[in-house]
Amino acid sequence: MTTGIKIAEVGDVDDGEGIRIDKAATGTEDDIALFSAAGRYYALNDTCTHEKASLADGWVEDGAVECPLHVGKFCLRTGEVLSMPANESTVAHRVEVQGEDIILYPGETPSEETE
Amino acid sequence: MTAINLTPPSANPQTHTERGDLHRPAALTPTVDVSSLIDTTNGVVDRAIFTNREIYEQELRRVFAPSWLFLGHVSQLTKKGDFFTTYMGEDPVIVSMDQDKKIQAFLNSCRHRGARVCRADAGNTKAFSCTYHGWAFDLQGKLQNVPNEAGYNEKFDREAWGLVPVAQLDTYRGLIFATWNPKAPPLPEALGDMAWYMDAMLNRDPEGTEVVGGVMKWVLKGNWKLAAEQFATDWYHVNMSHASALMVLSPTGKGPVSGIANTPGRQYVDPQGHGAGFPTHPKSRFDAQAVHEHYDYDALRDRLGAARVEGPMTTGHATVFPNFSYLPVNGSIRIWHPKGPDEMEVWAWTLLDKSMPPEVKEAQRLYNLRTFGPSGIFESDDGENWSEVQAISHGFITNNTPLNYQMGLGSERHDGVYPGTTSELYSDAAGRSFYARWADLMNTPAWHEETE
């Protein structure tokens, strides 16, 4: 079990939107895209696996994020690739809401109950 | 011999990496001397200017490409990422609001294989990505991403392959204009005295104007000049073409009284091809009742001057050369997009004063639709006339029979009331001036043409 890192507070991300957290703050290999969708938070590696685009700028719909440049799609919960032209899954990280804080557990696989 | 060199009219001319050794032979772009097709001294026009394909293509490169053209209204863009698409001549254009909320306009054609990178009418986006191979452009049209960029050699420079930007973009009281021509005079100079007349519509309200209800778009058979010319110069058709509409709108059901039907008025004749006509009878104001009651005409006289309130603010008509037209009382602004010599697309907006109360805005919106919407009772009269003229104009004898633009020949003068040169309300003077300007541009090499 890794140590959690506070990356944002409740209210920092509007529902249906994403924000980009710099890797300098998370110590991860890539920036982190933090999404809020239907009352839950999700974290993915920010750079699309297809081309250089920030998934935090993407379109959130039906539990997935669509890349703003070429409309490749990824599952918010698992990072699984869902649509061409992307064809490699991305990395999903566990996030937890603790009080007002949103905590990232880098490298940990999110569970079904991810908040 | 002249050849065409379609260097993108941006501040950075094309480099060898963009153009290679391409050079378009002059034979591909033949030039017709049109000076014998327009005779403004005798007031006659050759009908070939409405039907000939070579003349039409010359118009695209010598009239549309070098001129300031209307794109839309600033109220169509409110937050970053907002965009709408339109045309400049036949060139598809994206107008966007960038990260700094600055208005940008660029050619809607991918620099790779040429597909449109945006096929929506309007919306909000983060990028414009080509659906063909995926070249993606940002809100300023800069090339942001090329899939498999590693497949290009080290000479490939993304900076060089952005969407072609317009050379100049400016706004006039909420109206967005742009030109591909880096050498075009600044917009205020290009509008000249016409701005004084435009202010009768655009400067009634200190808060300015807005457009509502989207852009109404329809296709008409007819050369674009038939419409542009009519809005510049033609009050003459009103009592005849619109007889039934005037009967319907008159409170008595018998049509307007003689003094209004045969109103005096003036017609503004601009040397740059713009034109505006307006009755000067104080009651010649075919407006919606709620709007009429909303206006404080004494305050407007203080703001705009009596001549403007009793002149171009009445039931007037106008064209800003080449293809932007408007009707101040009806709240209609529109552009006549050329679609080949025989067809045009009309794009029309409802323009309102920003500080009108909601019920007045709604009354004006409905009045605009009723009179000059796509099925408006005046609009359909006009469209029918233009299509009728075009429908027969390819006949050999028909096409060789000149048209008459002789009304008001020699009547143009400085009248001491209105800026610039004016003629009678019933006159072809602004039409003659429209075609003089057209012929002048058609016979002048544009900035993109170079002498070999």
**pLDDT of the residue at B3:** 40
Strands B38-39 and B44-45: antiparallel
B371 CB contacts (<8 Å, ≥6 apart)?
A: B245, B286, B330, B332, B377, B378, B379
All structural domains of chain A, each given as residue ranges with its CATH number in brackets, are 5-105 (2.102.10.10)
Is B444 near chain A, with CB under 8 Å? no
Question: Which band of pLDDT confidence, cut at 50, 70 and 90, is reported for residue B450?
Answer: low
| B145 contacts in chain A (CB < 8 Å) | 51-53, 69-70
Which tokens belong to B339? 């679609």
Reply yes or no on whether the pLDDT at B1 is more than 60.
Answer: no
- The size of the A-B interface in CB pairs under 8 A is 26
B338 CB contacts (<8 Å, ≥6 apart)?
A: B56, B59, B60, B64, B89, B90, B223, B224, B323, B344
B141 CB contacts (<8 Å, ≥6 apart)?
A: B94, B96, B104, B106, B128, B162, B163, B164, B165
| Mean pLDDT to the nearest integer, A43-69 | 96
| A66 contacts in chain B (CB < 8 Å) | none
Considering only the beta carbons, identify the residue of B125, B126, B147 that sits closest to A51: B147
- Distance from the Cα of B247 to chain A's closest Cα (Å) equals 54
CA distance A83 to A73: 5
| B126 contacts in chain A (CB < 8 Å) | 57, 68
Is B132 near chain A, with CB under 8 Å? no
All structural domains of chain B, each given as residue ranges with its CATH number in brackets, are 69-171 (2.102.10.10), 192-442 (3.90.380.10)
Cβ distance of B129 and A50 shorter than 8 Å: no
**pLDDT of the residue at A114:** 46
Determine contact, residues B172/B191, Cβ cutoff 8 Å. yes
Helix or strand holding residue B441 (H, E) = helix B429-442
For residue range B28-76, what is the model confidence (pLDDT) as tens digits? 999 999 999 999 999 999 999 999 999 999 999 999 999 999 999 999 9
Cβ distance of A70 and B126 shorter than 8 Å: no
> How much of chain B exceeds pLDDT 90, in percent?
87
B367 or B450: whose pLDDT is higher?
A: B367
One DSSP character per residue, A11-43 reads: TSS-TTEEEEE-HHHH--SS-EEEEEETTEEEE
Which tokens belong to A23? 């890797």
Is B129 near chain A, with CB under 8 Å? yes
| Mean pLDDT to the nearest integer, B396-420 | 97
For residue range B315-366, what is the model confidence (pLDDT) as tens digits? 999 999 999 999 999 999 999 999 999 999 999 999 999 999 999 999 999 9
**How many other CB atoms sit within 10 Å of the CB of residue B271?**
13
Across all residues in chain A, what is the average pLDDT? 92
**pLDDT of the residue at B5:** 44
For residue range B146-189, what is the model confidence (pLDDT) as tens digits? 999 999 999 999 999 999 999 999 999 999 999 999 999 999 99
For residue range B116-152, what is the model confidence (pLDDT) as tens digits? 999 999 999 999 999 999 999 999 999 999 999 999 9
Considering only the beta carbons, identify the residue of A52, A57, A71 that sits closest to B145: A52
B199 or B286: whose pLDDT is higher?
A: B199
Is B209 near chain A, with CB under 8 Å? no
Q: Select from A87, A97, A109 the least CA-distant residue to A8.
A: A97
Does the complex come out with an ipTM higher than 0.85?
no
